[in-house]
Amino acid sequence: MDGSGRGEDGDAIRRMFGGIAHRYDLLNRLLSAGRDRYWRREAVAQAQLPAGGLAVDVCTGTADVALELARQFPSAKSIVGVDFCLPMIRLAARKVAQAGLKERIRLQAGSAEALPFDSNIFDAATVAFGIRNLVDRKRGLAELNRVLRPGGRGIILEFAMPQGPLFGRLYRFYFQRVLPWLGGLISGDRAAYSYLPASVSVFPSPRELGRLMEEVGFHDVRCRALTGGIVTLHVGKKLG
């Protein structure tokens, strides 16, 4: 397995997310029945930021994870959110300002596959529902590892396909039929919400993703299934 993505054009993915940015948060809540908040809380809790610590949230989107990092770790020094989609960054900046967190959360445009930071500076690096969209996933994971301090934590939250015979069938019907229709109806872009199940269907299995994290330098990689396996949470540490 080479760790590459689906071969999608990065510019096309950027345009797609820019086109749905105005409905992104609403649809996250609606299509997950509000479980997306729980998933992010569980992921952020794994960061274990020390007092004065630094964190980076890659593929930050509208900054929900960056905001949760600031809430859970009020003694952390700084959180940086990075995304390659400017409409998402603009919405994120508005939310950060409304939360009164402009002094603690900094947002900037940048690629997950070429992070604009020196090596060995962050205590935690998070990616929520973004690693699947990278053209070169292995490179993106290697960048996460590079910017972490030795002992720092890399945290990956991503969709998966539940395997239970009954729940799996019900979820697949919802995910492949209902979600694209409803997402398209509300966002005005059915193709974007058809991309979601299509990209999940070809994404590496949780075990394969864990192996890929190990290949780029993470160790003690652990995986936890959330909500019946709809989502998986991977956590690995950078070797000291």
Could you tell me the two tokens for 201? Answer: 């269907």
Query: For 217-232, what is each residue's pLDDT tens digit?
Result: 999 999 999 999 999 9
Cα gap 215→145, rounded to integer Å: 11
Domain limits for position 154: 10-162+205-238
Structural contact between residues 25 and 62, judged by C-beta atoms closer than 8 angstroms? yes
Cα gap 221→89, rounded to integer Å: 30
pLDDT value, residue 14: 84
> Is residue 179, in this structure, part of any structural domain at all?
no
> Is residue 196, in this structure, part of any structural domain at all?
no
**Tokens 């020390």 found at:** 50
Structural contact between residues 3 and 212, judged by C-beta atoms closer than 8 angstroms? yes
Query: For 113-161, what is each residue's pLDDT tens digit?
Result: 999 999 999 999 999 999 999 999 999 999 999 999 999 999 999 999 8
> Is residue 131, in this structure, part of any structural domain at all?
yes
Mean pLDDT across the stretch 69-93? Answer: 96
For the whole model, what pTM was predicted? 0.89
C-alpha dist (Å) from residue 181 to 33, 98, 129, 192, 221: 16, 32, 20, 10, 36
The total number of structural domains that make up the chain: 1
> Is residue 30, in this structure, part of any structural domain at all?
yes
CATH, residue 127: 3.40.50.150
> Is residue 198, in this structure, part of any structural domain at all?
no
> Is residue 178, in this structure, part of any structural domain at all?
no
Has residue 105 got a pLDDT over 50? yes
> Is residue 195, in this structure, part of any structural domain at all?
no
Residues with Cβ within 8 Å of 45's Cβ and at least 6 positions away in sequence, in order, are 72
> Is residue 108, in this structure, part of any structural domain at all?
yes
Has residue 46 got a pLDDT over 50? yes
